[in-house]
C-alpha cells in the first residue's frame, strides 16, 4: 500500500468516526429537547387523573352556540377539553375559559388542531344559543358552547362525574355550584379522565402531552 493510499484510508476512517459521533450527539440533544413523558402515577400527582379503561358516556342530544346539533360524534377524531360552567358565573368560569385559551396558545405542532375546547352550560334556562354565541367566542372563536334541555345536560354531567346544582334561596340572579375540573375526552369519544382544579398551566401542558403519547402507544 502506497503512502497516498494509506493517508486516504486514514482520512476516510476519521470521517466515518466523526459522522458517527455527530449522529450520537445529535440524537442525545434531540432526546434532551423532547418534553418528558410522565407515567400515569406522575400525571396523577400533577393533576391529571386518567382511567385505565376509558368510559363510554352514552349518547347525548344537545345544541351548540351556533344552533347546530351537538351529539357524541362531535367528540370523535379530536381530543376534547370539556368544562361545565355558565355565562352568569362571576369568577370561576371566565377565569377557566381564559386559562383554556392560554393553554391552547401553548400547544405546538398539530396539538392545537387536534384539540377542541367545549363549554357545557349548567344553566340552560338562561344560557340560550344566543347567549352562548356572545359569551364563548369572546374567549376564543374556536371554542364551542353547548346547551340543551336540563335533564339531558344533567345526565351528561353525571356520566362525566361533574356535579352541579342551583344555589337555593336566590332570585333570578341565582348562582350555580359546579365542579371546576376539566374533563378529557379522547378521539374515540370516550371519557378518558380529568384535570383536577386548581389548574396549573405548566403542569397541564406536560400531563396533556404525556396523555397523548400514551394514547399513541
pLDDT level of residue 170 (50, 70, 90 thresholds): confident
- The pTM assigned to this predicted structure is 0.82
Q: Which helix (H) or strand (E) holds 27?
A: helix 3-33
> Does the pLDDT value for residue 18 go beyond 80?
no
Cα 162 → chain centroid: 16
Q: Which residues are annotated as a binding site?
A: 89, 93, 178
- DSSP E strand boundaries for the chain: 48-55, 61-64, 69-71, 79-85, 115-121, 144-147, 164-166, 176-178, 182-185, 191-195
Q: What angle do CA 116, 192, 53 make, to 5 degrees?
A: 155
Each residue's pLDDT tens digit, 109-162: 889 999 999 999 999 999 999 999 999 999 999 999 999 999 999 999 999 999
Which residues fall in the annotated binding site for Cu cation? 89, 93, 178
The dotted CATH code for 40-214 is 3.40.30.10
Summarize pLDDT for 42-76 with one digit per residue, the tens: 999 999 999 999 999 999 999 999 999 999 999 99
Residues 35-40 have a mean pLDDT of 78
Amino acid at each position: 500500500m502506497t503512502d497516498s493510499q494509506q493517508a486516504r484510508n486514514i482520512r476516510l476512517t476519521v470521517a466515518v468516526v466523526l459522522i458517527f459521533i455527530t449522529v450520537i450527539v445529535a440524537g442525545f440533544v434531540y432526546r434532551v429537547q423532547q418534553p418528558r413523558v410522565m407515567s400515569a402515577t406522575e400525571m396523577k400527582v400533577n393533576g391529571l387523573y386518567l382511567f385505565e379503561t376509558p368510559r363510554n358516556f352514552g349518547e347525548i342530544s344537545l345544541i351548540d352556540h351556533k344552533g347546530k346539533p351537538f351529539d357524541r360524534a362531535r367528540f370523535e377524531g379530536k381530543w376534547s377539553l370539556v368544562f361545565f360552567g355558565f355565562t352568569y358565573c362571576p369568577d370561576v368560569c371566565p377565569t377557566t375559559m381564559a386559562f383554556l385559551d392560554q393553554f391552547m396558545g401553548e400547544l405546538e405542532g398539530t396539538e392545537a388542531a387536534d384539540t377542541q375546547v367545549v363549554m357545557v352550560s349548567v344553566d340552560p334556562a338562561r344560557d340560550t344559543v344566543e347567549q352562548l354565541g356572545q359569551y364563548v367566542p369572546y374567549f376564543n372563536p374556536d371554542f364551542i358552547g353547548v346547551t340543551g334541555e336540563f335533564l339531558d345536560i344533567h345526565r351528561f354531567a353525571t356520566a362525566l362525574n361533574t356535579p352541579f346544582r342551583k344555589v337555593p334561596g336566590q332570585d333570578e340572579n341565582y348562582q350555580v355550584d359546579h365542579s371546576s375540573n376539566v374533563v378529557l375526552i379522547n378521539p374515540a369519544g370516550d371519557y378518558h379522565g380529568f384535570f383536577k382544579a386548581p389548574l396549573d398551566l405548566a403542569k397541564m401542558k406536560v400531563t396533556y402531552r404525556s396523555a397523548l403519547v400514551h394514547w399513541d402507544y
